[in-house]
A and B are shown apart, each in its own frame.
Chain A
């Protein structure tokens, strides 16, 4: 079974705070699913490559700013929990 420390480490990477109770449940649930993944050990890695992935026709658009209809930026800013004027407000990151 996954240790409490392992669960805490993943939770931190995932940026999710868990309660003590959630950590215990997560240890059990994740371990059960990871055990189930052992099924995959039956297949040797050399048997296959990645050529079969379904997207072969992918066409990427240019990395450019596409003009948006009037009012779009206001709507997007409005959805943010904290704003100042015409900007989304964030915490100091330095």
Chain B
């Protein structure tokens, strides 16, 4: 079986025509994991028994009916910050080392209702804090395209699993680029939908005003199919909302107005990355799209306000890891010492840094200068996009300033790591849908094109991305 050529629709057809069973494909993916993951390290937990049981159930469903759901029998991988009932869920943190999920996240419930097969839980930066997956407490994940390079992060395991054909698609979460940046580094597609489009019930919260779940897959159509299944309003997540269907399914590139923000082509970015992105834009322009330079003047503040808002929210969200409710705990005489020691020993360096940063930003005397100011600038960034979308339909940008970097290259200097998210953060700040798709190669490594759309224009973003996919 040629796993690299499989797509969701090919699996669906194959299952329908009895060319193969879900059990057979699942076995094949498990074999790939057994062979390759020793050197790549995409998975923290391989759920072999669960996968085989789900595959058999899917085959039963398929043998009975003429019609079965599109993801029935399709093998996938899940980032280790989403709960799968009865399966270990660690967020790649020592503090949750042996934590077993007591229920399914809403996205998992929806995948299971389809008959989807879960192969395992993928490695990530601890609590999704990082851009290289080097912050996992448990292991490194290597970029399948070059083992000396990082896969990106924080959803590095999810991107590597798809890129190495160890899962057909995967789920990731994106707070400042954590789906799009690893997708770009590993040469796969990754979609961060409009804020609220997908329920986050059962996703371990990092920064609640920014976090969003989304799919990573080999192509745009697969991202769309998964998005259709897992999106929707959920009473268990009060920020979730139903996204309208595709209001313009016949959009052609020639009718499109595309904005290129001048702030996204900066000094210090890799020239070859810029060239690849500009070439992709040129190809779209050659199809008749109107390409205009736009300005998003507050872009330069995005990284700064991200590292105020996200750590502030994280410092509150991660207060629940107190040595009393979950997993790792250091037993001490006094309660305060249980907290101090459990958290001191249980959290890794980056998580501690962010909790400290957030605590500082929210502390008395600094709140106005940091947190309040950041929220004000956030609304200016959102306003920038609203102004731009009066003139254009979509915004095209690079996903990252460089291709996948080497291990250790940025790990010692937190600020340089933070700056690698410079092009992806704004979409989270404004709650906008944004996709990362491969558009070329530099030094033999993939370059990503980012397409950002208006709020709730998720299907238009996917539609335009699939048209661009045919050109690049």
Contacts and interface: CB of A to CB of B under 8 A. Distances in A.
A16 B307 contact: no
18 contacts: A15-B343, A17-B343, A25-B349, A36-B307, A39-B304, A43-B377, A45-B373, A48-B376, A48-B380, A59-B238, A72-B103, A75-B100, A75-B102, A76-B102, A79-B326, A81-B328, A91-B335, A91-B338
Among A32, A33, A58, the one with the most B-chain Cβ atoms within 10 Å of its Cβ is: A33
B315 A93 contact: no
Contacts of A75: 100, 102-103
Given A40-B301, A81-B326, A82-B331, 10 more contacts: A7-B356, A17-B341, A37-B307, A40-B304, A43-B373, A54-B430, A57-B196, A79-B100, A81-B329, A93-B335
A61 B209 contact: no
A24 interface: no
Contacts of B322: 15
Contact of B355 (A14, A57, A88): A14
* Chain B interface mostly: helix
B424 to A, nearest CB: 16
B376 A49 contact: yes
A52 B64 CA distance: 51
Interface string B258-278: 000000000000000000000
A13 B344 CA distance: 13
Interface string B379-396: 110110000000000000
Contacts of B380: 43, 47-48, 52
B354 to A, nearest CB: 10
A30 B335 contact: no
A37 B376 contact: no
B353 A39 contact: no
B325 interface: yes
Interface stretch (B50-58, B357-365, B441-449): B357-365
Contacts of A92: 335
B325 A79 contact: yes
Interface residues of B, number: 70
A69 B380 CA distance: 44
A48 B377 contact: yes
Contacts of A32: 413-415
Nearest 9 interchain pairs by C-beta: A52-B379, A17-B344, A54-B431, A75-B102, A81-B329, A17-B340, A91-B335, A52-B382, A48-B376
Given A59-B238, A88-B325, A53 B356 contact: no
B28 to A, nearest CB: 33
Contacts of A72: 102-103
Interface of B: 99-100, 102-103, 195-196, 209, 235, 238-239, 241, 298, 300-301, 303-305, 307-308, 315, 319, 322-329, 331, 334-336, 338-341, 343-345, 347, 349, 352-353, 355-360, 363, 370, 373-380, 382-383, 413-415, 418, 429-431, 455
A11 interface: yes
Nearest to A46: B376
Nearest to B366: A34
User: Looking at B298, B335, B338, B360, which has the most chain A CB atoms within 10 Å of its CB?
Assistant: B360
A1 interface: no
Nearest to B325: A80
A47 B235 CA distance: 37
B363 A53 contact: no
A90 interface: yes
Contacts of B413: 32
Nearest to B363: A13
Contact of B327 (A16, A79, A93): A79
Report which residue of A11, A15, A30, A91 has the largest number of chain B beta carbons within 10 angstroms of its beta carbon: A15
Nearest to B208: A55
B304 A37 contact: yes
A15 B356 contact: no
A12 to B, nearest CB: 8
